[in-house]
Amino acid sequence: MTRTFPPRPTLLYGIAMTSVAALAAVALSSCASDTNASEQADGGTLVYATGDAEPTCLDPHVGGNYPQALISTQYLEPLVGRSADGTIEPWLATEWKASDDGLTWDFTLQDKVTFTDGTPLDAEAVKANIEHLQDPDTQSSTGYLAVEKIKQVEPVDATHVRFHLSKPDSALLESLSQQWTAIQSPAGIARGMEKNCADPIGTGPFTVEKWTPQQQVTLVRNNDYKTSGPEADHKGAAHIERIDWRFIPDAATRYAALTSGEVQVIDNPQPDSIVAAEKDGSGIEHINAPRPGSTNRIELNSGQAPFDDIKVREAFIRAANPDPGIKSLYLKTATRSNSLLASTEPTSISDNTLFRANPKTAEKLLDEAGWTAKDKDGVRMKDGKRLTVRFPVSTNQSVAAEQSLFEQIQANAAAVGFEVILNPVDLSTWYGALGKNEYEAVSAPYTKVGPDVLRILYHSDGIVPAPSGYFANHAQLADPEIDTLLDEASATLDADKRTKLYADAQQRILESYTVLPLYDQQNHFLVKGATGVTTLGTVATPTFINTRLGS
């Protein structure tokens, strides 16, 4: 459309911006003053605003992504939980035992528990859930991988269930602690996908009352709640009566709704909102709960030129120098990581000597690798080819601060002669580029409980695409030694041996210079006008079992 230009844009914008700034100051000062403690009472409605995508199905068995884990934490519960230090704890299952060969697992279930529709939670129900995950019609993507090695489920009696495995699986308990393998009512499952997507039935502290797409899901208290998880500070039902689970995609709007008192809890706040919340007297509580599994990291495609040469990979990593960018863009809300695994994983190892920035070393390595010529733009050349790094960026996964960080890394790498082409695209296009091998660098976080995520990401099996074209090993590492370490770690039931094997595997992967770790998968919550919000030690999703309204 045609538009006329304002006669004096600078003056008008100046006036507009100044008045906005003044009003913002007024707004903030009025927010800061209402921190008087109020009476706490049971009941009431808590409003939670999420910035994650709205789930397309509320049953986390179907597909299986983080938004589904977030909301299903409120109404579905897993067989086992996990404490903050990584210890597996009882939940729907009270005890478990593996046979010496690791092929048979016996679980004892809590007695006299029913789902909210009255169906008993028994061995048959567990069997129905594993079968639901493994049924191709369920279209499970995450949960079915977690229970892949379960060959058969044998109900021994009402409260005892036996799993027969095709191969020993040291990650079984960690996999079963995830929301994607949570246990739901078999009668609910039997209603068929469309119905079960709208309101899955579980044992959790809340039940799904109504889902209004693009607006909210209303959750109501389960008054007969009995199956307290590891985070619960009391037996029995939750204090609050309802949760309005709202979808507010814009981060600034979410934060405005929190400070105005419209909502009590938000996720995915921007770094500046976290900084404002951290200030004394803001009345806002900040919960920092990194997601388990991998860190946010850049992976270099070692499957093709130029990164099939370890010298070129190391040169890129030495030149990238992400530290100043992380400090300035994340305003100290994110800490630099030198590890493949989240800092919350007890098995994670870190090695900062490998990632120290040094442009001189980078130049030397590129010279040694034969990238000595330079074109008129200062991009290094070899055999007539430019040293180009295609770096597709998923705008659905990388927040604004991260996209800016990649731009700084692009500039730092350019200083030693790399040409980095950042290409911000939507999720579907991004996966398409990876599937077609049109990338040299990529950032793709992966959430899973426990170190078994290393097998998914760095075992050579992970280069073979799934039927959808997706493969998880973006570094395209095919190192028999790493494969052996990961296979052994997967098979052993000796915890110390497992930790050692994973440590060796991590060291070898880090030394391959295929990965540049950046920081934990950022997962922050801000709370105002409620207390007792905690996150699970599994996939770091919030639980409101202890929550009360008021401050």
Partner 1 sequence: MRAVLARLGSAVLVVWITATVVFLALRATGDPLEAILGGPGSQAGPEAVARATQSYGLDQPFVVQYLAQLWRIATLQFGDSYARKQPVSELLAENVPPTVLLATLALLLAWVLAIAGLLIAATARGRFGGLVRSALSGIETVASVVPQFFLGAVLILVFANGLGWLPVTSSGSSPAGLVLPVVTLAVPIAGYLAHVLHGSLAEADAAPFAVTARSRGASEARVFFRHTLRHAALPGVALSGWAYGSLLSGAVVVEALFARPGLGRLLLEAATVRDVPVAIGVVTVIALLYVVVMLVSSLLEHVIDPRLAKAVVA
Q: Which residues contribute to the site for partner 1 (CB under 8 A)?
A: 1, 3-7, 12, 16, 20, 23-24, 26-27, 30-31, 49, 53-54, 56-57, 62-65, 136-142, 144-145, 193-194, 197, 212-216, 246-250, 252-253, 256-257, 259-260, 262, 396, 426-432, 466-470, 472
Which residue's CB is nearer to partner 1, number 41 or number 427?
A: 427
Alpha-carbon 530 to chain mean position: 25
For residues 32 and 379, which CB has a smaller minimum distance to partner 1 in the complex? 32
Nearer to partner 1, 190 or 252 (CB): 252
Min CB(58)–partner 1 separation in Å = 10
Do 76 and 202 form a contact (C-beta atoms < 8 A)?
Answer: yes
* Of residues 131 and 262, the one with the C-beta less far from partner 1: 262
Which residue number, 64 or 450, has a Cβ lying nearer to partner 1? Answer: 64
Q: Which is nearer to partner 1, 192 or 236 (CB)?
A: 192
Considering the complex, state which of residue 248 and residue 489 has its C-beta at the smaller distance from partner 1. 248
Going along 202-349, which residue ranges are E strands? Answer: 206-212, 216-221, 242-247, 265-267, 285-288, 296-300
Residue with smaller CB distance to partner 1, 191 or 500 = 191
Tokens in use for 231?
């985070």
CB of 459 to partner 1, least distance (A): 14
User: CB of residue 260 vs partner 1: minimum separation in angstroms?
Assistant: 5
Rounded least distance, CB 456 to partner 1, Å: 9
Contact residues for 180 (Cβ-Cβ < 8 A; gap 6+):
60, 61, 64, 68, 69, 140, 142, 143, 146
CB 369 within 8 A of CB 315: yes
Strand pairing report for 373-374 and 542-543? unpaired
| Other residues' Cβ atoms within 10 Å of the Cβ of residue 136 | 7
Nearest distance, CB of residue 189 and partner 1, angstroms: 14
Q: How far is the CB of 176 from partner 1 (least distance, A)?
A: 18
Q: Tell me phi and psi for residue 140, to 5 degrees.
A: -80, 140
For residue 198, the minimal CB distance to partner 1 (Å) is 8
Q: H or E stretch including 27? A: helix 9-32
We find the least distance from the C-beta atom of residue 344 to partner 1, in angstroms, to be 23
Say what the alpha-carbon torsion angle 310, 316, 321, 325 is, to the nearest 10 degrees. -130
Q: Residue 96: beta bridge partners?
A: 107
Closest to partner 1 by CB, 194 vs 377, is 194
Minimum CB separation from partner 1 for residue 99, in Å?
A: 27
C-alpha–C-alpha distance, residues 194 and 528, integer Å: 36
Minimum CB separation of residue 361 from partner 1 in Å reads: 35
Q: Treating both helix axes as pointing N-terminal to C-terminal, what angle do 495-511 and 480-491 enclose, rounded to 10 degrees?
A: 160
CB of 64 within 8 A of CB of 78? no
Q: Which amino acid is at 31?
A: C
Q: Which is nearer to partner 1, 25 or 411 (CB)?
A: 25
Name the nearest CA neighbour of 471 among 486, 479, 461: 461
Q: What is the three-class DSSP state of 455?
A: helix
Q: Say if strands 373-374 and 385-386 run parallel, antiparallel, or are unpaired.
A: unpaired
Q: Which two tokens mark 383?
A: 């055999």
